[in-house]
Amino acid sequence: MRQPRSGPGKRRGRGPRIPATTLRKQQAALANVDQITGAKIPKSFVFSRGKLPSTLRHLQQDLRKVMLPYTALNLKEKKRNNLKDFVNVAGPLGVTHFLILSNPKSLPHLRFSKSPQGPTFTFQIEEYALAADIANSQKRPRCPPGIFKNSPLVVLSGFSGLGNPFESLVEYFQHMVPAVDPSTVKLAACQRILLLKYDKEKEVIDFRHYSIKLQPVGVSRRIRKLMQNNQVPDLRDLKDVSDYVTKAGYGSESEADDEAATVSLPSDVDKLNQASRKSAVRLQEIGPRMTMRLVKVESGLCSGDVLYPWPVAKKSVGKKGKGTEEEIEGQEETEDEL
């Protein structure tokens, strides 16, 4: 015999039933919040406006990898999509930052925008190299897929004492990726660095992307491979197992230890890098690489008053601030004419 319910909407021995729609909203809200710090996780869209050559399309995909895991790696774009479409989709998905590539008059531009109300920082890309170009220039390129499971550490250099608009630009870069709490962060999760360095003489920003690699000090390459691969090496041509370690010279296979890059780890990272021994921190560039010059700052999302370069009169501010979004949307027509 069935027992009567203890109340409306309740079951005996259970709490109230939560509607499926409410449950999905709660899960979506939790996905946008860092469970450790409680702060909102910044997410991004990397997309283009107007027609881009193939090299800039590859650069766009490289930038999406830089912003992983809190970006849409396979974001689909259509010609009929305008900026408002991305803003409308960004709200429900918790997207807070836009990186917009364009190519007006064959000059690559990259906009960093805060959704939905701005500001917007427009950079002219003076030089760039794709991640594939960086890998082809290296003897031993290193870019394991696992390093994109966590956001990069943003390192800023040369921005002190510049005042606005660089103060607000620094704030934008600092909040572009999730904040790191030194007391709770896991060292194994810190595998990438995004370096943004301002050159005061040339007035440009160098954009560099590195992978972080820890190597125990005083351990040969053969021993490292033996412990990392967990496989028995081929010892058929050796008389003793010690020959495997000393073959080709112990010192020649262990990389030089740089005292400045040597650290004592507060906790164990893996089998090789443990708190009981010192490890060398090595950075290897994985790309992309860019040299950018700040050419414009707007108060809104690709619109509004022009805050940089400094306007001469208030009338010119209004003229420059209007029509920015239309200019972006009309780049496709400009490219067709070229």
The pLDDT assigned to 276 comes to: 60
Reported as a pLDDT band with limits 50, 70 and 90, residue 186 is confident
What percent helix, strand, coil does the chain show, rounded to 5? 30, 25, 45
Percentage of the chain exceeding pLDDT 70: 62
| Alpha carbon distances (Å) from 15 to 20, 25, 28, 168, 302 | 15, 19, 22, 48, 49
pLDDT at 143: 87
CA distances to 46, 100, 180, 186, 224 from 267, in Å: 36, 39, 17, 9, 19
Contact criterion met (CB below 8 Å) for 122 and 297: yes
In this predicted structure, what is the pLDDT of residue 113? 97
pLDDT band at 137, cuts 50/70/90? Answer: very high
Q: How far apart are CA 318 and CA 278, in angstroms?
A: 59
| Beta carbons of 131 and 287 less than 8 angstroms apart | yes
Question: Tokens representing 248?
Answer: 């080709």
pLDDT tens column, 74-100: 998 888 889 999 999 999 899 999 999
Residues with Cβ within 8 Å of residue 133, at least 6 apart in sequence: 287
What digits encode the pLDDT tens for the residues 207-235? 999 999 887 765 656 555 555 555 555 55
The predicted structure's pLDDT at residue 214 = 80
pLDDT, one tens digit per residue, over 17-54 is 666 666 555 555 555 666 455 568 999 999 999 999 99
Mean pLDDT, range 250-258, rounded to an integer: 40
All domains in the chain, ordered by first residue: 23-246+259-309 (3.40.50.10480)
- pTM of the predicted structure, to 2 decimals: 0.74
Residue 156: strand, helix, or coil = strand
Dmax over CA atoms of the chain, in Å, equals 86
In the block, tokens 């690489």 appear at 289
HEC-encoded secondary structure of 215-246: EECCCCHHHHHHHHHCCCCCCCCCCCCHHHHH
Q: Can you give the three-state secondary structure of 271-335, one letter per residue?
A: CCCCCCCEEEEEEEECCCEEEEEEEEEECCCCCCCEEECCCCCHHHHHHHHCCHHHHHHCHHHHH
Q: pLDDT > 90: what percent of the chain?
A: 46
Phi-psi region of 89 (alpha: psi -120 to 50; beta: other; left: phi over 0): alpha
Look over the chain and give the mean of its residue pLDDT values, rounded to a whole number.
77
The more confident residue out of 290 and 31 is: 290
- Identify the pLDDT of residue 292: 97
Q: What confidence tier does 312 reach under pLDDT thresholds 50, 70, 90?
A: very low
Residue 161 has pLDDT above 80, yes or no: yes
**116 or 187, which is more confident:** 116
CB 84 within 8 A of CB 301: no
pLDDT at 249: 40
Length of the chain: 338
